Amino acid sequence: MTSPARLRVAPSPTGDPHVGTAYMSLFNLAFARKTGGQFVLRIEDTDRARYVADSEQQIFDTLRWLELPWDEGPDVGGPYAPYRQSERLDTYRPYVEQLLESGQAYYCWCSSDRLKELREQQQKDKVSQTGYDRLCLGKTREERAAMPGFTENPVVRMLIPDDAPLDFADIIRGKVSAPRPDDQVILKADGFPTYHLAVVVDDHLMGITHVVRGEEWISSTPKHVLLYRMLGLPTPAFAHMPLLRNTDKSKISKRKNPAARLTWFREQGYLPEALRNFLQLLAYPPVEGETEVATFDEFVAGFDWTKVNTVGPIFDLKKLDWLNGHYIRSLSDAELADRIVEHYAYTGEWTPTTDEVELLRRATPLISERLVLLSEALDKLQFLFTPDAGIEIAEDAGKALNDDSPRVLDAAIDALAELADWSTATIETALRAAVVDGLGIKPKFAFGPLRVGITGSRVSPPLFESMELLGRESSLRRLRNFRDTL
Ligand code: GLU
């Protein structure tokens, strides 16, 4: 049994949260639960240029919606608060001082113009080791100020030693190598630490035992390992999860894929349990044999880093649709109706009255069999929530009609007007007797015009059930309105 592990997810609030944040949270949380440890949410907001104000709230909301709860975080507190890096600026300063005093870091006054020129020159010359040329190393402010490309507010850079280790042990990948870094900025001119310094200091102070993050951070890890060494701190374990990929193997990006945005899944009407289950299967085998459906607890019970496949998993929305359908059908009708109401409350598209919610509950069984996304519910059931006079006949509805349609509607209206008891069964019996048997018209043409009159379209949930839900008055009014247009 592994001792209790402390893991964290450390998103930067730079916009709509990326689906990778949920993916990382899921795996981090699983291992924390498996070992009886803790899962921490830390907000890495030191990049003020990319900061987006409501992004942090979106991170909280989407991870909560997915039921990936954190034990410690900016909103819930914890023994290592604050959990927002912008509130920890005083914490980083002594570490910078320590590195400056021991000569493992130095001030750099190079202006951004000089750095830009340097980069361009290095590209032109195709030099093998690009990066900062150490112009400021060993110089006092006065010495440096006498040279061109000077700015008043210096940054602090770490001095990468010649013997800097360039490989590290990854618990998923084994030995991993990364290119030699140049002298990284650790403290910016605005007094904010860079990601590299803040992540190391915070992971250390917060007692993080396993740093689990995306593959894109592999090249940063030697910088972090070096910082731990320079500061004389113990190094945590590292694991780098594969990047999520599109079906064409390209990397999922928020710019190109709507599905890279975590809120997109909620807007589309996916159930959180379906998305969670889907993420569990990315680069990770099904919990048992071929069974892809599994609870989070089942996932946790068998969790092991060695099962992670390092080949970038394909983000296949068809699989997610399938899982969503599965989870929709495992809900009771009442639960499904509640989820549908919640969905539209979230998107702001529909605010039903109590009566409408009641009607939706009764109508849910008519659509639950085929529903893939919650957002399809209203499309299918809109006719129930539309006033009789507001029913619009779809353009292609003509395909359900022919010369017999007026006769069909007349016979149906007469039969239904006399019906003593209004239920699915009595409606069906009466209509079959009046139209199919009475007029000798095939069911397809007998019921097509009725469906169009009741719902406005050729395709709809089951007709007789729909009429029962609408009630006699409303059904007859719709059929008569439609008859008048023919
Ligand atoms: N702030 C980084 C991010 O936005 C965290 C990377 C890490 O987990 O170290 O992903």
pLDDT digits (tens, 9 = 90+) for 420-471: 899 999 999 999 999 999 999 998 889 999 999 999 999 999 999 999 999 9
Best residue for ligand 1 mutational test, from 199, 224, 238, 262 (most atoms within 8 Å of Cβ): 199
Centre a 10 Å sphere on the Cβ of residue 318 and count the other Cβ atoms it contains: 8
Q: Residue 434 to residues 415, 471, 478, 486: CA-CA distances in angstroms?
A: 6, 19, 18, 20
Instruction: Determine contact, residues 24/212, Cβ cutoff 8 Å.
Output: yes
CATH superfamily assigned to domain 6-74+245-307: HUPs (3.40.50.620)
| Stated pTM of the model | 0.93
The list of the chain residues with pLDDT below 50 reads none
Q: Compute the distance between CA of residue 125 and CA of residue 122 in angstroms, rounded to an integer.
A: 5
What integer pLDDT is reported at residue 165 of this predicted model? 94
What's the CA-to-centroid distance between 44 and ligand 1, angstroms?
7
Give the list of residues 6+ apart from residue 72 with CB closer than 8 angstroms, or none.
Answer: 38, 39, 40, 41, 78, 79, 80, 81, 83, 206
Topology agreement, domain 6-74+245-307 and domain 388-485: no
Instruction: Determine contact, residues 259/6, Cβ cutoff 8 Å.
Output: no
Q: Please identify, by atom number, the ligand 1 atom nearest to the C-alpha of residue 14.
A: 4
Q: If you take atom 10 of ligand 1, which residue's CA is the nearest one?
A: 11
Q: Confirm or reject: Cβ of 11 under 6 Å from ligand 1.
A: yes
What integer pLDDT is reported at residue 257 of this predicted model? 83
Check the CA dihedral 159-165-171-176 and report its sign: positive
Best residue for ligand 1 mutational test, from 18, 44, 204, 218 (most atoms within 8 Å of Cβ): 44
234 preceded by cis ω (within 30°)? no
pLDDT tens for each residue of 298-320: 999 999 999 999 998 988 999 99
Q: Which pairing describes strands 38-41 and 6-9: parallel, antiparallel, or unpaired?
A: parallel
Active site residues: 254
Q: Compute the distance between CA of residue 239 and CA of residue 169 in angstroms, rounded to an integer.
A: 9
Instruction: Determine contact, residues 420/399, Cβ cutoff 8 Å.
Output: no
What integer pLDDT is reported at residue 247 of this predicted model? 80
Centre a 10 Å sphere on the Cβ of residue 463 and count the other Cβ atoms it contains: 19
Q: Compute the distance between CA of residue 241 and CA of residue 20 in angstroms, rounded to an integer.
A: 10
Q: Residue 313 to residues 23, 211, 283, 295, 369: CA-CA distances in angstroms?
A: 12, 20, 5, 20, 30
Every domain of the chain and the residues it spans = 6-74+245-307, 88-241, 333-382, 388-485
DSSP letter for each residue of 226-257: HHHHHHT----EEEEEPPPB-TTSPBP-TTT-
Q: How far apart are the first and last CA of the chain?
A: 76
What's the CA-to-centroid distance between 12 and ligand 1, angstroms?
7
CATH of 88-241, one of 3.30.565.10, 3.40.630.70, 3.40.50.620, 3.30.590.10: 3.40.50.620
- Give me the CATH topology for the region 388-485: Arc Repressor Mutant, subunit A (1.10.10)
Q: If you take atom 3 of ligand 1, which residue's CA is the nearest one?
A: 11
